[in-house]
Structure 1
Amino acid sequence: MPGYQTKQECVAIPGADDLHIESLLDRQQYADPLGEAAALGISSATWPLFGMLWPSSVQLATWMAERPLVPGERILEVGCGLALASMVVHRQGADVTASDCHPLTETFLNRNIDLNSLSPLPYRHGNWGDDADTVASPGRPAVSGRFDLIIGSDVLYERDESGKLSGFIARHALPCAEVLIVDPNRGNRSAFNKRMADIGFTLDEINLNSEDSDGVRYKGRMLRYQRGHA
């Protein structure tokens, strides 16, 4: 891919087939020749983050691999990055839409869909900082409609004093909905929990602390929010 370097690797997802993933080579990659990322408020320092393989995304993909499919359920992944969880449930036959605000996310998603011999996966521009759900350039339809399940990993990376993420969820969650957020204990969940409670969601926190076969430890939590469920 022009302007930056990539790598390919096989990612093991417990409970599902491995995924072949193309990602950015490292966090030093950057290319924004048309200024698209800058127009969206994405700095050169944060530009490569969408294209990195993050431990929390593997945790979310693992959770979704083990979660039973619900017939007719519509799923939205927010801040999807490399969209591991979306690809896992897409391969299972779920109705899932991946979303992110980075201008190259869809390019990487399509490349990884091809690498795994999957059918096309719906993608929408999803910038929760945009209260009107618009897009910065033509040809990129924004997230629309409402969903039964909204998922995300490591999306509580800033304090979000104005409640942009919870506002985005409020616009796109059905009255009866579930939200699953994997948080690697970044320390911003308390304010987010309060905002989710304000829009009618109850919380169940599940410890995800684990160690894989290579001795790599993960410390974090699954934040499971529900609204309208019996």
Structure 2
Amino acid sequence: MPGYLTKQENIAIAGVDDLVIRSLLDRQQFSDPLGDAETLGISSAAWPLFGLLWPSGAQLAARMAARPVQAGERILELGCGLALASLVCHRQGADVTASDCHPLAGTFLRENLRLNGMGTMKYRQGQWGSGEALGPPQQDESPLAQAHGGPVHGLFDLIMGSDLLYERDARASLAHFIDLHAGPEAQVWIVDPDRGNRAAFSKQMAAQGFGLREERLDRAALNDAPAYKGRLLVYRRT
């Protein structure tokens, strides 16, 4: 890859076949020759974060692997990064759309689909707080447009994400974005590694009419799997 180094790993997720994932080599990688990331407000320090595998992402992928596919259900992953949870859903036959604001997330997703012998999956450019993202829902576009990414639109039955609450969101942009795209009986699943912004986000979701149920996901270290501390936040319209 021009400007940055990658690696390829087999990732084990309980309940599904291993996934072959191409990711960035480490957090030192950076390449933004045309300033696309900078235009989106992504700094050089934050640039590589999309392309790494994170513990909370693995936790979300494991939960989705254990969740039965429901006919007619539409699923959206926010801030997907390498889209591990979306890949699990796609392999199981779910109607899933991955989304991220990083300009290379779609490229990495298409490569990881190819490495795993999977067909095209829907991908959107999801950036909460932007005027484009907060526009009214529209009808889905062609399969080609879905694969290469326009803005997120439409309503979803399950909206999921992992480690999304890493910065203060005084304008409640994420909660507004979720409210715009959540169907009448939608659930929202967010795996959070005990970030300090969790309480404020839950208040913002309550203002949008979402009740909260929490589930601890703490796990001791096992063999080559490191310990994990965090929780699954499940929001539902009340």
Structures share a fold, TM > 0.5? yes
CA distance in structure 2 between the partners assigned to 1:198 and 1:215 by the alignment: 38
The offset of 1:213, in angstroms, is: 3.2
SS at match of 1:90: helix
- What residue identity is the alignment partner of 1:221? R
Partner of 1:106: 106
Shift of 1:129: 2.2
Q: In the alignment, is residue 222 of structure 1 matched against residue 232 of structure 2?
A: yes
Which amino acid in 2 is paired with 1:182?
A: V
Q: TM-score, normalised by structure 2?
A: 0.92
Residue 131 (structure 1) shift: 3.6
What corresponds to 2:196 in structure 1? 187
Q: Separation in 1 of the partners of 2:15 and 2:231?
A: 19
Rate the CA distance shift 1:197–1:220 in 2: closer, same or farther, 3 A.
same
Aligned partner letter, 1:195: Q
State the distance in 2 between where 1:44 and 1:215 align. 29
User: Which ranges of 4 or more aligned residues in structure 1 deviate by more than 2 Å?
Assistant: 211-215
Q: Is residue 134–residue 177 contact of structure 2 (8 Å, CA) maintained in 1?
A: no
Q: What residue number does 1:37 align with?
A: 37
Conservation of the 8 A alpha-carbon contact between 1:158 and 1:188: yes
1:187 is paired with a residue of what secondary structure? coil
CA positional deviation for 1:220:
0.3
Q: Which residue of 1 aligns with 2:169?
A: 160
Distance 2:225 2:167 in 1: 29
Identity of aligned residues (%): 61
CA contact (8 A) 2:75 2:95 kept: yes
Please list the CA deviations of residues 41-94 of structure 1 after superposition, one character each: whole Å capped at 9, or x if unmatched: 001010000001100000000000001111100000000000000000100000
Aligned partners of 1:81 and 1:105 also within 8 Å: yes
Question: What is the alpha-carbon root mean square deviation over aligned residues?
Answer: 1.6
Map 1:120-131; keep pairs closer than 5 Å.
120-131=120-131
TM-score (ref. length: structure 1): 0.95
C-alpha contact 1:131 1:168 (8 A) present in aligned 2:
no
d(CA) in 2 for partners of 1:125 and 1:215? 32
> Deviation at 1:226?
1.0
Distance 1:55 1:215 in 2: 10
Distance, in Å, in 1 between the alignment partners of 2:236 and 2:64 is: 16
Alpha-carbon deviation of 1:134?
7.5
Amino acid in the other structure paired with 1:73: E
Query: What's the counterpart of residue 138 of structure 2?
Result: none
- AA of the residue aligned to 1:223: L
Amino acid aligned to 1:147: F
Q: Tell me if 1:199 matches 2:208.
A: yes
Would you say how many aligned residue pairs link Structure 1 and Structure 2? 226
Gaps of 5+ in 1: none
